[in-house]
Amino acid sequence: GAGVSQSPRYKVAKRGQDVALRCDPISGHVSLFWYQQALGQGPEFLTYFQNEAQLDKSGLPSDRFFAERPEGSVSTLKIQRTQQEDSAVYLCASSDRRPNQPQHFGDGTRLSIL
Amino acid sequence: AQSVTQLDSQVPVFEEAPVELRCNYSSSVSVYLFWYVQYPNQGLQLLLKYLSGSTLVKGINGFEAEFNKSQTSFHLRKPSVHISDTAEYFCARAEGSSNTGKLIFGQGTTLQVKP
């Protein structure tokens, strides 16, 4: 079946612009996670949704970062007034509600801020 | 805070040789551990997971890992590597008491398999 889909795969923006990154989770997956992966580093947690509810946003680095999942399926991560330190790969993962189910990751969006 | 430490940033190895990628975690009451592989320009693919039960966990592509509570380690092993195993490997743990919660990752280990 289809996996987690992220778009765009690559995004280049000028400093100060707003960007929006999309994640289509696996159909029926209740949980959705966003991670940020800086170059040469492991992914770091940003935020978590269960259905449409954002249950944890403790990893969002600043109030310029905003995520939503209004209908409990597709999610969008928005970054306002981008800065160079926002350059990273943004990974989305989804998982089933059943116990012991692992997270399935998309291929990520590589964001470059000039 | 809960953490994961991968002790080697790069591991070079010749094809068909055995390999071990090391991972240590901070101790806690309940621990759920994972190994993921990341090929260039791709997302993370689950290799194996430890949730409970047998301390020797077998995964895909011939990899296995052993959960060692006394040494707080979860090292990944493969008896004979292939060129196609060249990739970035991440050890991770689920935060808190649930095995479905957010993941805390190590810094990653680059496995370089040489012909």
Predicted confidence (pLDDT) per residue in B77-93, tens digit: 999 999 999 999 999 99
Distances A66 to A12, A15, A18, A102, B47 between C-alpha atoms, Å: 19, 17, 11, 25, 31
Nearest to A100 among B51, B101, B108 (CB): B51
Enumerate the residues of chain A whose CB falls inside 8 A of the CB of residue B89.
none
At residue B111, what is the residue type? L
The pLDDT tens digits for A67-114 are: 999 999 999 999 999 999 999 999 999 998 777 788 999 999 999 999
pLDDT at site B36? 97
pLDDT score at A111? 98
Would you say B37 and B44 are in contact if contact means Cβ atoms under 8 Å apart?
yes
CA distance A59 to A44: 8
Q: Count A/B contacts: CB-CB distance under 8 Å.
A: 55
Indicate the average pLDDT of chain B: 92
**Which amino acid, one-letter code, is at B89?**
Y
Q: In sequence order, what are the beta bridge partners of A78?
A: A20, A66
**Which residues in chain A are closer than 8 Å to B105, comparing Cβ atoms?**
42-44
% of chain B at pLDDT higher than 70: 98
Q: Chain B within 8 Å of A26 (Cβ-Cβ)?
A: no
Any idea what DSSP says for residue A27? T
Are B80 and B18 contacting, i.e. CB atoms less than 8 angstroms apart? yes
**Residue B97 pLDDT exceeds 80:** no
Mutation target to probe the A interface, by most A beta carbons within 10 A, among B102, B103, B105 is B102
pLDDT at B27: 79
Q: Is A99 on the interface with B (CB under 8 A)?
A: yes
Scanning every residue of chain A, which has its alpha carbon at the shortest distance from the alpha carbon of B44? A105
